[in-house]
Chain A
Amino acid sequence: MSRLGTITRRSFMGLGVAATGGLAVGYYFYTKPFPNPLIAMAAEGDAVFNPYVKIAADNTITIIAPRAEMGQGVHTTLAALVAEELDVSLDQVNVEHGLPGKAYYNEAMMVEGGPFPFFDEGFMAEATRGSMKVVSKFLALQMTGGSSATIDAFVKMREAGCAARLVLVAAAAEHWGVDAGTLRTSGGVITNHVNNETLTYGEISEAAAQLEPPSKLPLRPRSEWKTLGKSQPRVEGLDKVTGGRIFGIDVQLPDMLYGTVKISPRFGVGAVSVDKNAALKVAGVLDIIDIESTTGSGFGIIAENTWAAFQGADALEVEWATPDYPANTDGMKSMLDIAMATNSDFTLGKVGNVEKEFNNTDSENFFGAVYDAPYLAHTTMEPMNATAHFKDGKLEMWIGTQGPGLAQSTCAALLGIKTEDVTVNTTRMGGGFGRRGEVDVPLYAAAMAAKTGGRPIKVTWSREEDMRHDTYRPIATAQFRASLTDDGDITGLDVDIASPSILTSLLGRTFPSIPAGGTEKIVLEGAFDQPSTIPNRRYQAHIVDLPVPIGFWRSVGNSFNGFFQESFIDEVAHVSGKDPLEFRLSMMNDEEHRPAREVLKKVAKMANWGGSLPAGKGQGIAHALSFGTWVAQVVQVDVTDDVVKIEKVWCAADLGLVLDPDNVKAQMMSGIVYGLSQALGQEITFSDHEVEQYNFYDFDAMRMHQCPEIVVELLENSHRMGGAGEPGTPPSTPALANAIYASTGKRIRSMPLSHAIDFA
């Protein structure tokens, strides 16, 4: 029997150890032996150690980093976890995303725990697992652990590297007939100091893969880390400075067709009538197909090149049906107002008794304010796209997706084929920000691939299509009321937030058969879950039933609640005549809120908070805890002739444990620019039931000339790991609004701030 045959059979037999094929180690070992996806991919001569490590006889070491690389550097950091314990440097390894595999889900699956037995791999169970993976982040479990690729991988990927190294050393010890303890590893080479001989990992890998790793894996203490804790160059850095063909949009297959989509710009309805004649006459347009799906209805344009497809879409004359949601933004806002005026759907973060406290407070000791924030688009730099090839009942896809398993199962259901007959190749992504987990992109591509007579097709959305068919950051409004002592301290805080439900929207378009509803932490996150010692508090959610598709936008609920709450705290500080920094510190304790206090004090020091500033300049401060990471920021503005220039941002962040300092700092910087971009003019508005924005000329983001100098420092007071990609965003907007107030005395409570003041 061939080597691969043996491996596959053995692993199917459920042995913890699978011959040459794979050592089941770490988490993979103590749960259930899922098939190791690397075995199917292995070339002749490859020794597969576990779902994360593959070593070829020529010492080519491949690490699987099964998470979406969309700019946040996750491939580099995940590979570093394995490399650290494998005792190789990052420049010695290849890093691949790999095929979707249950082995990579595992721990997330345990955490998520959908209402299905472990062994159920049917569509519904898989679909729920897929959605819960996204959803779980925002439910109660998030509160205790935070969630991010690095946190998930921190133990299991180090264990994978450690297990592989231990069996390599054991095999070498057997080879030389010496005790394993006498051998040393470094840079993928095992050295026997007794006879001065060496073996590369590749030379001994076949023998090593026969061995079982010990059940106890002695991970290196932090003090001995060589790679982790130090800044690493990106593993894909060279590709990204040479125009590398690494993105979904760069996929090129033999005999490939090109296409685009024209989906109804009115949500939840389709075409009343269509005239395809003009479109079909466009040179290069080959066919126009109907698309019907849970995410939208419309048309797919199949063409000889992308440009022809775009022109075909423009020439396609469609009359769209009229939906029953309000035609314009004002109508939507009044739905929020109505929801706000009616009873809340649920309450979180209740402490003490706000009502009683308010009854006991004199009317002059109340302060209140109302805030709002609009719908926002993600506008990833790389427009939505996917390539699909449907032939002989099997579908293969190439897509930059945050959820390959979800793409696999929903496309299988759409085409009526088995999940295992769908192969998803995950490419690198030109930005994700939460947009690339949605199933609309793969679904439309799969639907079009079914109509090409077996030829592959790359489906690229125009920027306009991308802008007008996003899963938007929801619109939201908030009412804050505080009761104050005569000294200006807050004794009661009553918060009401109205917004549509992301989970209802997500489930509706992804799994229409699963009922949604209930408590959705997202609406209140960034408000109720912040460090606070205010003795009487209440946060009430008012869910608005609006069918505009909404989804996860960098930092999600924190993106608006951070702005609302940290603006309000600042307002109260000024009303009470207190320093905004001292005021915040006075409402945080020294135990569980300590990381917040420390980042605030740190950022104040960095910014020389309280120092004198020239006329026209002002500083604003804000803090937000999100995704397990504590972040304080000071924004400094210069306001000259009523025009705001954002000059500088200081940021102090505490993720508990920093695995790659430069990358974390880059993520904070990115989160800040992403956050501040909102203030400069971003909003998605509606008229005639359609999104009014089309492209970067009417939904722009911060540009070079607007970008402040950004200084980031990292602290490690928190005892748990937090995420890096999102927490930089929430404090940026309130810090900016607070700075504008400090400079001008003008309080802006509505996003984008550009409605009330001009920016340079």
Chain B
Amino acid sequence: MKLTINGTTHEFEAAANMPLLWALRDILDIKGPKFGCGVSACGACTVLINGEPVRSCTYNVSDVEGEVTTIEGLPINGKLHAVQQAWLKHQVPQCGYCQSGQIMAAVALLNTISNPTDTDIDDAMTNLCRCGTYPKIKAAIKDAAAMLEVNR
């Protein structure tokens, strides 16, 4: 099996029905995407495939066509993505376990809607956070949108 992840091509053996999440975590040792539910119900495992957010726990690795981006692939030349910077500025994470998925979902949102309203955020950000960081996530997304606007 051959996959391009964060710009690097990986060749590996995996059962065709293995979810992408477990291929990433257990076979390729890419630990950014987290396991939370295994049934597309929490979003902790969110990665991008060709820029689209995907819950990798229910996406067969053999079905992947195109480039996979995990949170490890967000920084460019060591510089954090605007969303990551905004997350730090607002001190969003508590336990942090959901945050890889939240950040990937936020990146995907800002890729499609550059200046999201509260309703846009509510609609796009369906990931679960048991620590209840939602108000900070919302604030950080708006800040990241502003940062990206400046750089545009």
Residues of A at under 8 Å CB distance from B? 70-73, 233-234, 236-247, 249-250, 252, 258, 283-284, 305-308, 310, 379-383, 428-433, 460, 462-463, 662, 666, 669-674, 677, 695-697, 700-705, 707, 709-710
* Measured CA separation A628–B58 after assembly (Å): 44
A243-B70 in contact given A306-B25, A463-B39, A695-B37 (Cβ < 8 Å) = yes
B44 within 8 A of A: yes
Q: Report the minimal beta-carbon distance from B37 to chain A, rounded to whole angstroms.
A: 4
Query: B126 to nearest A CB, angstroms?
Result: 6
Give 13 new A-B contacts, CB below 8 A, not counting A242-B84, A245-B31, A696-B128.
A241-B80, A305-B22, A305-B26, A381-B129, A428-B96, A432-B95, A670-B94, A674-B131, A696-B39, A697-B39, A700-B128, A704-B121, A705-B122
**A/B interface sample: 15 pairs, CB < 8 A:** A70-B95, A71-B94, A71-B97, A236-B96, A241-B88, A243-B71, A252-B31, A305-B22, A383-B35, A431-B97, A431-B131, A695-B41, A697-B41, A702-B132, A704-B126
- Which 10 residue pairs spanning A and B have beta carbons closest together? A243-B32, A673-B132, A430-B97, A71-B95, A240-B96, A71-B94, A243-B71, A240-B93, A705-B122, A696-B41
For window 69-118 of B, CB contacts with A under 8 Å fall at: 70-72, 74-75, 80, 84, 87-88, 91-100, 103
| Residue from B29, B75, B130, B134 in contact with A704 in the complex, judged by beta carbons closer than 8 Å | B134
- Residue in chain B with minimal CB distance to A705: B122
**B88 and A670 within 8 A (CB):** no
The total of interchain contacts (Cβ-Cβ below 8 angstroms) comes to 173
Q: By the criterion CB–CB under 8 Å, are A381 and B87 in contact?
A: no
Contact A239 B84 (CB under 8 A): no
Contact A669 B22 (CB under 8 A): no
Complex partner residue of B75 from A72, A242, A429, CB under 8 angstroms = A242
- Contact between chains at A382 and B95 (CB < 8 Å): yes
Chain A residues in 8 Å Cβ range of B38: 310, 462-463, 695
A710 touches B94 (CB 8 A): no
> With contacts A305-B26, A307-B19 known, is A380 near B130, CB below 8 A?
yes
Interface contact B130-A243, CB-CB below 8 Å:
no
* CB nearest to B30 among chain A residues: A243
A381 with B131, Cβ < 8 A, contacts A240-B93, A242-B75, A305-B22 known: yes
Contact between chains at A381 and B35 (CB < 8 Å): no
The answer on a CB contact under 8 Å between A252 and B29 is yes
In the assembly, what is the distance between CA of A250 and CA of B41, in Å? 21
* A666, B94: Cβ atoms closer than 8 Å: yes
Contact A707 B135 (CB under 8 A): yes
B48 at interface (Cβ–Cβ under 8 A)? no
Q: Which of A283, A670, A695 is close to B132, meaning CB atoms less than 8 Å apart?
A: A670
* Contact A234-B93, Cβ < 8 Å, known A307-B15, A307-B18, A310-B38: yes
Q: Across the two chains, which residue of chain A brings its CB closest to B97? A: A430
A239 close to B96 (CB less than 8 A): yes
Smallest CB-CB separation from A305: which chain B residue? B26
B37 touching A696 by the CB < 8 A rule? yes
Bound state CA distance, A609 and B33, in angstroms? 44
Q: Is B123 part of the binding interface, using a Cβ–Cβ cutoff of 8 Å?
A: yes
Q: How far is the CA of A428 from the CA of B96 in the complex (A)?
A: 10
Given A242-B75, A703-B128, verify A381-B95 contact (CB < 8 Å).
yes
- Residues on A with C-beta less than 8 A from B99 are 240-241
Q: Within the assembled complex, what's the spacing in Å between the Cα atoms of A392 and B61?
A: 38
Known: A379-B130, A430-B34, A696-B42. A241 touches B135 (CB 8 A): no
With known contacts A242-B75, A704-B125, A670–B131 Cβ distance under 8 A: yes
> Which of B32, B33, B84, B135 gathers most chain A CB within 10 Å?
B135
Residues of chain A lying within 8 A (CB to CB) of residue B147: none
- Residues of chain A contacted by B97 (CB below 8 angstroms): 71, 247, 380-382, 430-431
Task: For B72, give its contact among A70, A242, A429, A709 (CB under 8 Å).
Answer: A242
Closest A residue to B134 by CB, please name it. Answer: A707
Given A233-B88, A666-B94, A695–B39 Cβ distance below 8 Å?
yes
Chain A nearest CB from B29 CB (Å) reads: 6
In the complex, what distance in Å separates the CA atom of A433 from the CA atom of B94?
12
Count B interface residues, CB 8 Å: 57
**Could you say which residues of chain B place their CB within 8 Å of the CB of A381?**
34, 36, 42, 44, 95, 97-98, 128-131
**CB atoms of A238 and B91 under 8 A apart:** no
Which residues of chain B are near A662, meaning CB under 8 Å?
A: 91
Bound-complex Cα distance A710 to B88 (A): 20
Return chain A residues, CB-CB under 8 Å to B25.
306
- In angstroms, Cα B95 to Cα A432, docked, is 9
Q: Which residue among A72, A73, A243, A710 has the maximum number of chain B CB atoms within 10 Å of its CB?
A: A243
Contact of A703 among B70, B72, B93, B126 (CB under 8 A): B126
Are B37 and A237 neighbours in the complex by a CB distance under 8 Å?
no
**Which A residues are CB-close (under 8 A) to B122?**
704-705
Determine how close the nearest CB of chain B comes to the CB of A258; give it in whole angstroms.
Answer: 6
Q: Are B134 and A673 in contact (CB under 8 A)?
A: yes
Q: Which residue of B lies closest to A232 (CB)?
A: B91
Q: How far is B98's CA from A191's CA once the two chains are assembled, in angstroms?
A: 45
Expressed in whole angstroms, the minimum distance between the Cβ of B118 and any Cβ of chain A is: 9
**Which A residues are CB-close (under 8 A) to B72?**
242-243
Is the beta-carbon distance between B31 and A305 smaller than 8 angstroms?
Answer: no
Closest to A708 in B: B135
A433 contact set on B, CB distance < 8 A: 130
Q: Which of B1-52 contact A (CB under 8 A)?
A: 15, 18-19, 22, 25-27, 29, 31-39, 41-42, 44
Chain A contacts for B29, CB-based, 8 A = 252
Give the contacting residue for A284; candidates B15, B80, B84, B93; CB below 8 A. B15
B contact residues around A701 at 8 Å (CB): 128, 130
Residue pair B39, A430 in contact (C-beta under 8 Å):
no
Q: Tell me the complex Cα distance, A637–B96, Å.
A: 29
Q: Roughly how many angstroms separate A207 CA and B135 CA in the complex, as a whole number?
A: 50
Shortest Cβ distance from B57 into chain A, in angstroms? Answer: 10
Judged by a CB distance under 8 angstroms, whether B62 is at the interface is: no
Smallest CB-CB separation from B42: which chain A residue? Answer: A696
Contacts of B123 in A (CB 8 A): 705
CA distance A701 to B134 in the complex (A): 12
Residues of B within 8 A of A307 (CB): 15, 18-19, 22, 26
| Distance to closest chain A CB from B50 (angstroms) | 20
Q: Which residues of A contact B125 (CB under 8 A)?
A: 704
> How far apart are the CA atoms of A378 and B116 in the complex, in Å?
32
Nearest CB on A from B102, distance (A): 9
- Complex CA distance for A305 and B19, rounded to whole angstroms: 12
Q: Which residue of A lies closest to B104 (CB)?
A: A243
> In the complex, what residues of A have CB within 8 A of residue B70's CB?
243
For the complex, is B138 an interface residue (Cβ under 8 Å from A)? yes
For B128, what are the chain A residues with a Cβ–Cβ distance below 8 Å? 381, 696, 700-701, 703
**Which A residues lie within 8 Å of B35 (CB)?**
249, 306, 383, 460
What's the Cα separation between A122 and B80 when bound, in Å? Answer: 50
Q: B residues within 8 A CB of A695?
A: 37-39, 41
B95 touches A431 (CB 8 A): yes
Contacts of A241 in B (CB 8 A): 80, 84, 87-88, 92-93, 96, 99, 103
A38–B93 Cα gap in the complex (Å)? 29
Which chain B residue lies CB-closest to A709? B135
The contact of A669 among B26, B96, B132, by CB within 8 Å, is B132
Interface hub of A234, A242, A672 (most chain B Cβ within 10 A): A242
**Contact B121–A234 (Cβ < 8 Å):** no
Inside 8 A of B133's CB, which chain A residues have their CB? Answer: 666, 669-670
Please tell me if the beta carbons of A430 and B96 are within 8 angstroms of each other in the complex.
yes
Whether, in the assembled complex, B137 has its beta carbon less than 8 Å from a beta carbon of chain A, the answer is yes
Q: Give the distance to chain A from B31, nearest Cβ to Cβ, in Å.
A: 4
A117 to B97 CA separation, bound complex (whole angstroms): 41
CB distance from B35 to the nearest CB of A (A): 7
Residues in A whose Cβ lies below 8 Å from that of B95: 70-71, 380-382, 428-432
- Please name the residue on chain B nearest to A670 by beta carbon: B132
Which residues on A sit within 8 Å (CB–CB) of B80? 241-242
Known contacts: A704-B125, A705-B123. The answer to whether A237 contacts B93 by CB under 8 A is yes
